[in-house]
């Protein structure tokens, strides 16, 4: 069983650009103090970080994983991941995966530029440190939601295969894994994703209500194109964070 923890931004506690956290608004960040406490907990519980290649090898080929695996993902290639998350994770011997919006990495204005982005040189440095770099479309186009923009087949292929091709060209890595922007998908998008990628990841924003289990993890029976990630953000208390991981423990 593998929990996939999905982060977006990691702000310094006194960062003036950090938005207010409200009960009914989307939250796309954690603070450094929250993140440090979370990573310390993972290390203390014996978790070891795994890549999406390792998860795919486990699902598709039966390759063994560490005893307590966890995947740590960062969507949207924000620079404060390198500034704030990377040093903490390095100190614990952890690595992560950045899912890249390729136009942001190239400095293109796409309406999501309010926070500085990791660009290609930054991403190359993370690869040298053992991190994974994977695809998150070219422009953060959404699939499977009510605000998904109109699209045709050519546009979808460009967003999916095009992002993968740019990462391969810029960084020389295969970018075999995909994360859906906003964590949502639909049948048409999934059909194309299966043509170009080895796995795909969705994400769960809120705790699920009974009778469902609170959180969904990746198991040996999970469809490789429907991996579930759990969105970790500043609204989540530390006790709630620990509860996210409690479900991965084997029964007593």
Q: What is the mean pLDDT of residues 29-53?
A: 97
Taking the CA atoms of 145, 147, 150 and 154 in sequence, report the sign of the dihedral they define: negative
Band of the pLDDT at 118, cuts 50, 70, 90? Answer: very high
Q: Would you state the pLDDT for residue 167?
A: 98
SS3 state of residue 104: helix
What are the residue boundaries of the structural domains of the chain, listed by start? 4-11+27-246
List C-alpha distances in Å: 118 to 11, 81, 88, 247, 251: 14, 8, 17, 33, 41
Task: Please tell me the total number of residues recorded for the chain in this structure.
Answer: 252
Determine contact, residues 4/73, Cβ cutoff 8 Å.
yes
Q: What is the mean pLDDT of residues 5-28?
A: 89
Preceding omega of 158 cis (within 30 degrees of 0): no
Averaged pLDDT for residues 88-115: 96
Residues contacting residue 147 through CB under 8 Å, at least 6 positions apart: none
Question: CA–CA separation, 64 vs 67, rounded Å?
Answer: 9
pLDDT for residue 25 is more than 80: no
Question: Which of 62-76, 157-171, 207-221 shows the lowest mean pLDDT across its residues?
Answer: 207-221
Q: Which two tokens stand for residue 64?
A: 């063994």
Helix (H) or strand (E) holding 13, with range, is none
CATH of 4-11+27-246 given 3.30.1360.20, 3.40.1160.10, 3.20.20.70, 3.20.20.370: 3.20.20.370
pLDDT, mean of residues 87-91: 98
């Amino acid at each position: 069983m593998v929990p996939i923890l999905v982060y977006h931004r990691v702000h310094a506690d006194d960062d003036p650009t950090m938005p207010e956290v409200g009960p009914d608004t989307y939250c796309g960040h954690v603070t450094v103090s929250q993140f440090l406490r979370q990573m310390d907990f993972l290390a203390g519980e014996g978790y070891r970080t795994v890549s999406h290649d390792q998860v795919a090898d486990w699902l598709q080929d039966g390759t063994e994983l560490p005893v307590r695996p966890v995947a740590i993902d960062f969507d949207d290639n924000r620079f404060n991941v390198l500034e704030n998350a990377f040093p903490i994770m390095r100190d614990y011997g952890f690595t992560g995966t950045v899912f890249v919006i390729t136009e942001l990495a190239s400095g293109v204005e796409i309406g999501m530029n309010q926070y500085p982005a990791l660009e290609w040189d930054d991403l190359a440095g993370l690869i040298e440190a053992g991190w994974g770099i994977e695809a998150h479309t070219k422009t953060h186009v959404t699939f499977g939601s009510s605000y998904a923009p109109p699209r045709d087949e050519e546009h979808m292929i460009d967003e999916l295969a095009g992002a993968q091709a740019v990462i391969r060209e810029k960084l020389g890595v295969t970018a075999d894994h995909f994360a859906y922007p906003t964590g949502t998908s639909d049948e048409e998008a999934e059909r194309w994703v299966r043509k170009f990628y080895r796995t795909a990841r969705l994400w769960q924003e809120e705790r699920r209500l009974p009778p469902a289990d609170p959180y969904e993890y990746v198991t040996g029976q999970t469809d490789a194109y429907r991996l579930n990630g759990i969105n970790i953000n500043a609204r989540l208390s530390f006790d709630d964070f620990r509860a996210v991981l409690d479900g991965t423990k084997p029964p007593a």
